[in-house]
Structures are given as structure tokens and as C-alpha cells.
Amino acid sequence: MLRPKLLILGLLGCLLLAPFFVVRGDTISDIRDKISERNSAIADLEKEIADFQKQIETTGNEAKTLQTTIRGINLEQKKLSAEIKLTANKITAVNLRLEELSDAIDKKEGKIVESRGTLARTIRNMADSERRTLVEALLSGSSLSKVWGAVDDLERFQRGVRSDLQTTKGLKAELEDTEAETKINRQKLVSLKVALADQNTLLAQNKRAKNDILAITKNKEIEYRKILSQKVAKRNAFEQELLQFESDLKFAIDPSRLPGARSGVLSWPLDAVKITQDFGDTAFSKSGAYAGKGHNGIDFRAPNGTPIKSSLAGVVKGTGNTDAVCPGASYGKWVLIEHENGLSTLYAHFSLIKVSEGQTVETREIIGYSGETGYATGPHLHFTVYATQGVKVMKRKSAVCGGTYTMPIADLKAYLDPMKYL
């Protein structure tokens, strides 16, 4: 038979109180109605954003003119505004869910206290019944029926203890699950608030970009065409200058320190994948772009403000903005991450960078947002994979740009086909 003292000691580990949460004013029904309203608003906004995206893609496929560029920027502003509303609604929905969880925690804690009281009473009753042991009952001359009655009482009490104990354990497990969901939602809330701040920054940038284009072109198509032509010429000259320098580099690269080429070594840097430019000698590169030497990475379609994620955990080896010295000629805003497996990855044409040099990042962590800084005919992500031994972040004076720029520079042997690892 189970002894009361041993039983009580065994219960201590599962009877700890969880943290106390304040009861909210709204009822659970009110909260759920509000959550339903927010979810409906979120669904409507997601449809609106998807419609804006289709219009942006249609505009992007049209001839590059001042009119289509301004129309594209206006659509991006509308899309960003809708995304800001969407994020705000998600924040409200998460706060409401936290309120609902808080109320659920309060109720579960009350049930645990009630279950503890029941369990304590059962233990006390069992302790009282065991004051006279079976041996004492037999020696006292009690009838056999009374002895068996005592046995039945003890067994009944023990069954009650086991039942009460299981009830308390179940309530405790439910409470822990609710608290775990609360923690997840609090983390989600922090992420949403960061995203909201980023979206407001991107919208402000978008508005400045429109004003800058109108100011530079004086709202004239002929001026816009002239700017595009100058941009292409500078970009080609810069690429040729960089190619000559990289061709002379002789970094030692040990192939045995690289991972085997297989799918899944790296994760996709975007949630939605659409490749618009392949690695190496492609029809586009042979037409004159990339100095006829092929594309040193791959390009993904990525509308302005799309979150860009690290393809693998690693350390940020550098960030920069080539537009500061050579506007429209190269990567624009870029991030280089070194990974432990011998690879490094470059992400370029950001609108907003969210990491800094020396920072450790996890796989699929947001490192910034897509844009069209540097040389870009539209918003996209340029993604390069290097053998780490063959790439360095360097400062180099450019005759083309008339200044000193900072960016990753590599031995040509260090450029690897990203598709062999994605």
C-alpha cells in the first residue's frame, strides 16, 4: 500500500504555481469576436496587397519609361501602405490573443488550486484511516469484515489520490502549454513591431525616390532616357575595371574545404522564389551585360520591401553601399556573410540593411529588405556564393567612379554556382 508521507513527497514536484496574470476586463466571448474582426480585416488586406503586386509586376514588364517608373513607384507606395495596415492589424490580433491566453491562464491556475485542495483532503482522510494498521486491527480482535472494510477504505482513498493527482497533472500540463503559446505570441509581437517600423522607413524612402526622380529628370522623358544611358555606360565601365582587377588575384583555394555540391546546403534567401537571371554565361550576359564574362550570381524577383533572409547561419563579414561612391554602377547596398562550411554568401541591391559587421546571424534570419540600389533595372535580389578563401571585403580606388569604394572582391575561381548548393 502507498504510504501517505511518501505520496506527499512525490506530489511536490508537480504542484508548483505558475506566474500570476492579471484578469482582463473583456469576456472571452468579446475578445474572440474582436479577434475574428481583425482576422477578417487581415484577409481583406492580404487580397489588396496581392492585387497591388500583380499591378506592379505588369508595370515592371512594360517598357522602361519615366511614366511607367513613376506608376510603379506609386503602386509600391500603395502596397507598402496596405502592408503597414496589415501589420498593425496583426499586432492588434496578437495583443487580443495574449489577453485571451492571460484569462485562460487565470482560470487554469484557479482549477489547479481547487484540485490541490481536493487532493489535500483525500490525503488527510487516507492518513486518518491508516492510524490503525491492519495488524493492529487484527490484534484488537476486530471482526474479519471490519478488517476487510479497512482495506477497502484504504484502496478507495488511494484511487482517489491517484485520480486527483492525474487531474492536477493534466491541469498543470495545460497551463504550461498556454504559457508556452503566450511566450511565442510575445516574441511574435516584438517581430511585428520591428516590421512595422521597417515598413514605415521603406515607405518614406519610396516617397523620396519618387521626388528625386522627378527633380533630376524635371519630369521629362528625354532626361530620363539620358540618365538611363549614362547609368548603363558607367556600370559597364565599372564592371570592366573590376574584372581586370579580379583577374589578377591569386588567392589560394583548397577545394577540399568546400562542401559537396548538393541541394539543401544553403536555404533559399526568399520565401517566394522566382529566378530572373541565372549564373554564368547566359543570353543576357552574352548580349553585353557583365562585360560578356557571365553573371557572378543569380537574381531573384523581389518586390521592394521583400524580407531577405540569410541562407545559412554565419557571421556578417561586411556591409556597405557602393552608391555612396559609384551611384548606379554596382551592388548598391550589400551584405556579405561567412559560413562555417567554407562558403560565403553575398546579398545585394537592398533598400534597407538590418545587420552589421561582426554580427552572428541564424539560418533564415531577416538581414534586410529588397530594393533596387546599385545597378538594377527593377527591384530584385542579387545572390552570389563564394569559396570563402577566395573573397575579401576590400577598399579600392576607382578611376571610373572617381573615389574609393568598399565591396567584396574575389578571385574569379572563388565564384560558385549558387544552384549547386540551394
State the pLDDT at residue 292: 38
What pLDDT score does 109 carry?
76
Write the DSSP assignment of 213-260 as a string of letters. HHHHHTT-HHHHHHHHHHHHHHHHHHHHHHHHHHHT------GGGSPP
Q: What is the pLDDT of residue 64?
A: 86
Instruction: Give me the helices (H) in 61-143, please.
Output: 66-129, 134-139
Judged against a pLDDT cut of 50, whether residue 7 lies above it is answered with: no
Question: Distance between terminal CA atoms of the chain?
Answer: 62
Q: Is the pLDDT of residue 26 over 80?
A: no
pLDDT tens by residue, 266-287: 999 999 999 998 997 644 443 3
Which triple of cell numbers denotes residue 309? 533572409
The domain defined by 261-420 folds into Glucose Permease (Domain IIA) (2.70.70)
CB burial readout 231-253, b (16+ within 10 A) else e: bbebbbbbbebbeeebeebeeeb
Q: Which set of grid coordinates corresponds to residue 157? A: 482513498
Q: Where are the domains of the chain?
A: 4-208, 261-420
Instruction: Please identify which residue in the block is written with the cell numbers 503566450.
Output: 182
- Angle (CA) 384 387 300, round 5°: 15
* Structure confidence at residue 172 as a pLDDT band (50, 70, 90): confident
User: In this predicted structure, what is the pLDDT of residue 412?
Assistant: 92
Question: In this structure, which amino acid lies at residue 293?
Answer: K
Helix, strand, or coil here: 313? Answer: coil
Q: Is the pLDDT of residue 22 over 90?
A: no
**Cα angle value 16/19/23 (rounded, 5°):** 130
pLDDT in tens, 33-66: 999 999 999 999 999 999 999 999 898 888 889 9
Tell me the per-residue pLDDT of 224-260, one tens digit each, with 9 for 90 and over: 899 889 889 999 999 999 999 999 999 999 999 999 9
**Mean pLDDT, rounded, of the chain:** 83
